[in-house]
Amino acid sequence: MNFQAKDTSIEQLKADCLVVAASEGDQQNAAFTSVDKLLKGQLSELIRAGDIKTGLGATTLLPGLALGSVKRLLVVGLGKTSPLSRDQFQKVARNIAGKLYSKSIKTAAIALDTIAVKGADDSWQASQVAREITLSSYQYDTTKSEKRKPVALKAVNYVVADKKLLAAAKKGLSHGAAVGEGMNLTRELGNLPGNYCTPAYLASQARSLARNQPKLSVKILKEKEMRELGMGSLLSVAAGSDQEAHLIVMEYKGAAKTVKPHALVGKGITFDSGGISLKPGLGMDEMKFDMCGAASVFGAMKTLLTLAPAINVVAVVAAAENMPNGKATKPGDVITSMSGKTIEVLNTDAEGRLILCDALTYVERFKPQSIIDIATLTGACIVALGKHMSGLYSNDDAMAGELAQLSQAVCDKAWHMPMGDEYQKQLDSNFADIANIGGPHGGSITAACFLSRFTEGFTWAHLDIAGVAWHSGNLKGATGRPVPLLVEYMLSKVGKK
């Protein structure tokens, strides 16, 4: 997709479709007023007649209203609220994108920059438009015999009212498109079935990502190397599968070698049967999405490669398949993690924390400034927060507060959850240093408490994305979250030591 910022007047625009926005009531933004004036008040008349809907996000395509070189006019509603919230503007941008792709529109001009959004600037608005249009371009057809036709939309001009705003708009468009592309990679990896997206496949994707990218290096550890490092916890999960586990290490080097990196650690269970603690059959197909934490790390790294910020980032993906066979770990088994801590496995379906704890121990060798692990970790998080917000846990309140604030800014919301010492007692074991589950109460919290045992001495946060990583039902598919939040956090660290 070709995104450009333009300060061209409405009369000089050339596009298959021009997008303007209309509020409920008489007070309209500058772009709408300009177009309405050129059309001698036709838009206002259509609103009064009810032929143009102005409710928030409503879209009305007017193919019959020619405007110079513009063939169609798309009016999107803003509702009554002014200024809009960020979530409301995102809805507007998403609905515009959906409408543009539903028709054979090759070029579009979008004039929304004069719309007020609370706490946001022109760069942010342009970013959201580019992100939503890029996301809407994604079509999954990898495992279908008939491929979908390429989308018609090829170029988008983001129209600004003042030439002074061009630089901010261009920056926003580049940022939004890069985030959207990263999210689409995350969606593609998540949507692939487990017989395609294996641990070895994820390793190959890391190598592909690094091809012709001098700032990105990749190292792949297989089971032999992991065994030598003492990663008994991670290997215990892979023991029941014919697919070999892989530890994928990607290093993005955008700053000086002396600058310590920030770390991302992703859960990459490419299929989760539950192991010996077998899951119910209904809905088990969705356990191909259990690697969406890893997929979001890939998406974030892709975006960073595009934006090229001056920062160092190390990404570690623990990739394995959780299956039941004669060699599989059994409930009651005791395993030894890379840290030396022993773990009593009370439930083999609580496997994500078992691969993450060794990955967290491994990433310590890079002496990171901060660590974020991302995992579709617990159904308990969905019970607590539903499908709207990620669960956010941290051993550092400042980091948690920063992540929570950034999540609101990029409309990729996370909620700071408790993780007090009183929950740690639920992980006590009579036969090992720690048990891998803490009972039926506070399951998402005790899972975070488990991981915290392997991050002592580091600034660490955990994102439980079980509720937000994919949609079920007719909309079944990966969402691409929390790539926007991960990218925003990394960009916020540029220039800081």
Which residue among the candidates 215, 279, 330, 341 is catalytic per the annotation? 279
Q: Angle at CA 461, nearest 5°, toward 254 and 463?
A: 100
Question: In terms of DSSP H, where are the helices of 137-230?
Answer: 166-191, 199-210, 223-229
Active site residue 279: yes
Asked if 53 is an active-site residue, the reply is no
What is the residue-wise DSSP string for 343-374? EE-S-TT--HHHHHHHHHHHHGGG--SEEEEE
Element (H, E) at 342: strand 342-344
Instruction: Tell me the torsion sign for CA atoms 209, 127, 156, 94.
Output: positive
In this structure, what token pair is assigned to residue 92? Answer: 């507007």
- Contact call for residues 268 and 317 (beta carbons, < 8 A): yes
Angstrom distance (rounded) from CA 314 to CA 307: 16
CA pair distance 171, 176, nearest whole angstrom = 9
Please identify which of the residues 6, 267, 353, 453 carries the catalytic annotation.
353
Task: Map tokens 């129209």 to a residue.
Answer: 159
- CA 415, CA 434: separation in Å to the nearest integer? 27
Quickly list H helices, 276-420: 292-307, 352-363, 379-385, 397-409
Catalytic residues: 279, 353
